[in-house]
Amino acid sequence: MKKVLFSLLPLCLLATACRNVDCCLRSATLSGTESRILQNQFIRAEIVPAATGGIVGLTYLPLQKEILPPFQYMVEKIDLIPDRTVIKGGGSRILLWGEKNLSSQEMSIRAEKATADCCSVELFNPYYQSSNLSLQKKVSLNKNRAALQIDLEAQNKTSRPITVTLWDNMIAQLQNDSMDTILMPARGKTTKIGKRGVQFLPEDGIFNDNDDVFDKVIFIAPARNWIARKNPKSSLIFAIRGDFTDLSPEGFFYTWKKQSGSPLHTMELIFNPYVLEAQKNKCYRLEYLFFQGLPSLDEICGDIGIYAEFQKKQVLFLFNSVDFVPEKNLQVRLRNTENQEFYLGEKQLRALSPTKVQKLLFTLPPLPPGTYQLQGCFEQNESFELLKTLTIEPGSPTNASH
C-alpha cells in the first residue's frame, strides 16, 4: 500500500489585486487540493470545494489568530482498488443530522465575485452528501466587517416530500493548549426537544460548557439564535449566528469534548427538521462573528456584542462590534418577575469598530428584593434583553448578586 501526502504549504495564485482595506478573492492550493481564499482587513477565510465546500481556514487578522486546526487532504493509493481520499476533520462543514455524511465530496464553483466592497464564492452539488438534496452554498465577505456570511439553499429534486435537518459542524479553537468554554443561551425548564433529550436548567440562562463540566456531550435547547466560544487566554469571542425561526422549536445546540484539558471542543448548530416538498427549496443564513476585547458574551444585538457585569451599585456594560457603527443612544431598564420596570437612564454610546471596546456605567436605583432582567434599547428600535439576571436580597436593596 502506498500513500501520497500533499504538502500543507499553500501555493497562492493571485486572482485579483487588492489593498489591505479592500476585499479580495484569490485561488490557491491547500494540502494538494484546490482552494479559494476570501479576505478583508479583519478576516481571512479559506474554502476547499473538494471537502464538501468546507471552510477549513479562518484567521482573525488584527491578532493574526488562526482558529481552525490545520487542514489535511490525503489520497491513499492501494493496489488493485480505487484511490481513497481522506480528509482530516476540522473547520466548518454543512452536514445532514442523522445521516451518514461524507467529508470528501466535490462542490463545483458556480460563481465568483471580487470587488473592493465584497467578495464571494458560490458552490453547488446536485446530490449533496449522496442524498436527493441539492445544495447551493454562498460564502461572502464584506468590506469593514469582522463577519463571514454563509447563505444556503437546499432543494428537493424528487417527486415526494423529504425531511431535511441541516447541521453546521464547527471544530475551532481559540487556543491550542487549553479548552475553550462554549457559551450556549439555553431555554430553561426543558428536558426534551423533539425526540432529543437536552440539558435541564431551572431557568433560561447561558450554559457554560467548559472543562469543569463532566459530560462529554451536551445538548441545549436554544433561547437565542447564537452560540459562541471564549478562552481566558484569548481576547477573542467567536460566535455563530443563525435565524431563530430555523432553530425553534426543534433545533438545538450541540457540543463534544475529546477529553479533559484537550482543546478539541466542538460548537455545533442543528436547525429544525424541515419537510421540503417536491421540487421546493429552503434558504438558510449563518454568520461567523468575531468580537475582540470582551471577557465574555451575554447578547448580540445587530452587529454589537454585549457584555454586562452587575457590580454593587452599578451595571458595567462593555460593547464591541463586527462592523463600524456610528454613535447611538442607549436606554437601560430593569424588569422584575411582576413585569414592573425600573428605568436606569439613557447614555450615549460612542462610535464602535471591530478592534475597540466601549464602556458604559449605569447606576442602580434602590430596588425592592426580587429577581430582575436587564433590558436595553438603542436608537432605531434595536432592543435586547439579557438572560443574565440580577437578584436583590432582602435588607440589601442595591447589593446585587447573580
- At 76, the pLDDT band (50, 70, 90 cuts) reads low
**What residues does 182 pair with on adjacent strands?**
209, 229
Q: Where are the domains of the chain?
A: 88-292, 299-401
Give the three-state DSSP class for 266.
Answer: coil
Tell me: pLDDT of 401 over 90.
Answer: no
Longest dimension (CA), the chain: 81
* CA-closest candidate to residue 211, choices 141, 277, 275, 258: 258
pLDDT at residue 84, as a whole number: 63
Contact present, 2 and 77 (Cβ < 8 Å): yes
pLDDT above 90: percentage of residues in the chain: 81
pLDDT tens digits, 98-121: 999 988 899 999 999 999 999 999
**Residue/partner pairs of 69-74 with CB below 8 Å, 24 or more apart:** 69/171, 69/173, 69/176, 70/8, 71/8, 71/30, 71/31, 71/46, 72/5, 72/8, 72/31, 73/6, 73/30, 73/31, 73/32, 73/33, 73/48, 74/3, 74/4, 74/5, 74/6, 74/31
Position of cell 458552490?
123
Give the three-state DSSP class for 59.
Answer: strand
Mean pLDDT of 313-342: 95
Let me know how long the chain is: 402
- At 88, the pLDDT band (50, 70, 90 cuts) reads confident
**May I ask the CATH architecture of the domain 88-292?**
Distorted Sandwich (2.70)
Tell me: pLDDT of 19 over 70.
Answer: no
pLDDT at residue 379, as a whole number: 79
Mean pLDDT of 319-335: 97
- At 87, the pLDDT band (50, 70, 90 cuts) reads confident
Third-level CATH fold of 299-401: Immunoglobulin-like (2.60.40)
Of residues 137 and 381, more confidently modeled: 137
pLDDT tens digits, 192-213: 998 899 999 999 999 999 999 9
Of residues 289 and 337, more confidently modeled: 289
Q: Which of 110-119, 164-173, 281-290, 386-395 has the lowest mean pLDDT?
A: 386-395
pLDDT tens digits, 208-240: 999 999 999 999 999 999 999 999 999 999 999
pTM for this structure? 0.91
pLDDT at residue 362, as a whole number: 97
Tell me whether domains 88-292 and 299-401 share a fold.
no
Mean pLDDT of 274-290: 97
pLDDT tens digits, 363-387: 999 999 999 999 999 977 799 999 9
What separation, in Å, do the N-terminal and C-terminal C-alpha atoms of the chain show? 60
Tell me: pLDDT of 60 over 50.
Answer: yes
pLDDT at residue 255, as a whole number: 98
pLDDT at residue 79, as a whole number: 65
pLDDT at residue 32, as a whole number: 87
**Torsion angle in degrees (nearest 10) through CA of 251, 218, 216, 233:** 100
- Mention every residue, 6+ apart, whose C-beta is less than 8 A from residue 67: 58, 59, 60, 172, 173, 174, 236, 238
In 37-109, where does DSSP find H-type helix? none
Mean pLDDT of 239-248: 97
Mean pLDDT of 262-273: 96
pLDDT at residue 396, as a whole number: 62
Mean pLDDT of 39-62: 96
Tell me: pLDDT of 252 over 60.
Answer: yes
The overall average pLDDT reported for the chain is 91
Distance, CA of 383 to CA of 114 (rounded, Å) = 34
Distance, CA of 81 to CA of 2 (rounded, Å) = 12
Mean pLDDT of 147-173: 97
Distance, CA of 94 to CA of 102 (rounded, Å) = 10
Give the helix/strand (H/E) hosting 247. helix 244-247
